[in-house]
Each structure stands twice: as C-alpha cells, then as structure tokens.
Structure 1
Amino acid sequence: MDEEVFIIEKKRIAVIIPEPLKDQLKNMSDELGVSQSQLTVLAIQSLVANYESKGKQVFLDLIQKH
C-alpha cells in the first residue's frame, strides 16, 4: 500500500518576546517534553483558528484578559 507524503514548506520568523514570557515558554517546553518552537507554532495555529471563527473579536477577548 502506497502512503501519501505531504511536504509543507516552512519559513523562519524571528519573534521578540518579554523575558518572563520566554521563561514561561521554556518551563512549558521542559514540562511537556515539546520544543519551544513546536509550542509557538501550536499557539499561532490556535490564534489563527480563533481568528477564522471569531474574527476581530478574538483580539478584543485577548486584550480584555490582560
């Protein structure tokens, strides 16, 4: 049986974040055994999915929480 292989081109992006947030990301990464890069991609995927379903409201929700 032949398996389909999907190749997704990846791009690199530099993100500057506050040190406390970076520390929290590292702690999550260590605790979960998942790379910081993978966690960042998951967070971005979640944000995009929320934006696609809620539109601009997702940003209002995030701003109101902080």
Structure 2
Amino acid sequence: MGPLSAKSYLGRGLVRPHPPPAGRALQEIDYGRRGKGYIFGAFCPAIGAAFTRPYPGRGIGNWVAFLEEVEG
C-alpha cells in the first residue's frame, strides 16, 4: 500500500421535506385610482414651525385660502 491521492467521496443524500403545495397568491388589482387631494404646506426654519392643510384641488382659490390661513 502506497500513499493515497486526494479523493472526494459521496456524502449523504439531501433530505427535502415535502411542504404542502402553495396556492397562487391572490391580490386585488390596483389601478392607482384613489381619492385625489393636495397638501399645501409652509415651513418657518427660524422657529421650526410647520403648517399644512389638505385641499381637494391645486387651484388658485385653494392656494389663496391657504396663504390667508398662513398669515392668520
């Protein structure tokens, strides 16, 4: 008997558990049509105060109303 060269030996067989078959994932289709609205905001960095208000649209009337609230 002489020296043995490096050999690889087969290991033990891999045991895979049999999980129950997963069903197909069901999720309602979302087309992105949610409620609309806009948030106007003002920030004063000197004192760290923030003021926000929600409005149904981005029109000039809503913007003027927001600026009047900020002044008040």
Task: Compute the TM-score of the two structures, normalised by the length of structure 1.
Answer: 0.24
Structure with bigger gyration radius = 2
More helix by proportion, 1 or 2? 1
More strand by proportion, 1 or 2? 2
Task: Compute the TM-score of the two structures, normalised by the length of structure 2.
Answer: 0.23
